[in-house]
Amino acid sequence: MINTILSSYFQPVREIHWEKSLNVVYRIYYHLILFTPRYLPIITHEISRELEAIFKEVTTTKGYELFGLVIHPNHTHLILGTKPTHFIPNVVKDIRERTSFLIMGRYKDIQKQHKIKKLWSRNFGVETLGDFNIGRIENYLECPKEHQLLDEWERHFGVEKK
């Protein structure tokens, strides 16, 4: 159940390229993992469809580029492109706040049933991606049986599976 993919989105595979701004040439990609509180499997198929649309809206509005997305019942993976002026804690905050506000506002029963106020835990995972590992991470995300990063996260933070 936990490794069940509820929704996924990947832009067509393309060559990683350099971006330009006024005086900077860059390419910055992140693999971001958001976890539900206490690792609870609260994301349903219906919620995952709404989350996918909200993730796309938030990333576009804030100037991030969403290259990939995989939603599971208790966590979500995003592959993002950012600019050098984007500070990763602010990127995470932007995405968590907007998605949590909209989903928790629409699904008030989640708050009551699980005794939580926000959709996402304060903890998150982030990995920088480069030429050599962006393809590897896409393959990893499409194969939930080989999904071991969450086990490492659980050991690190002492989280118990529900």
* In the predicted structure, residue 33 carries a pLDDT above the cut 70: yes
Cα–Cα separations (whole angstroms), residue 41 to 31, 64, 104 = 21, 27, 15
State pLDDT tens for residues 95-120.
Answer: 999 999 999 999 999 988 999 999 99
β-bridge mates for residue 65, sequence order: 81
Q: What residue segments make up the domains of the chain, in order of their start?
A: 7-157
* In the predicted structure, residue 151 carries a pLDDT above the cut 80: no
Stretch 70-89: mean pLDDT, rounded? Answer: 92
Rounded to the nearest integer, the mean pLDDT of the chain is 83
Between 19-23, 47-51, 70-74, 103-107, the lowest mean confidence (pLDDT) is in 19-23
3-state per-residue secondary structure call for the chain: CCCCCCEEEECCCCCCCCEECCCCEECEEEEEEEECHHHCCCCCHHHHHHHHHHHHHHHHHHCCEEEEEEECCCEEEEEEEECCCCCHHHHHHHHHHHHHHHHHHHCHHHHHHHCCCCCCCCCEEEEEECCCCHHHHHHHHCCHHHCCHHHHHHHHHCCCCC
pLDDT at position 76 is 93
* In the predicted structure, residue 146 carries a pLDDT above the cut 50: no
> Nearest to residue 138, comparing CAs of 83, 56, 69?
69
pLDDT at position 2 is 54
Between 20-24, 59-63, 148-152, the lowest mean confidence (pLDDT) is in 148-152
Stretch 111-132: mean pLDDT, rounded? Answer: 89
pLDDT at position 6 is 76
* In the predicted structure, residue 152 carries a pLDDT above the cut 80: no
> What's the fold here for domain 7-157?
Alpha-Beta Plaits (3.30.70)
C-alpha–C-alpha distance, residues 119 and 37, integer Å:
7
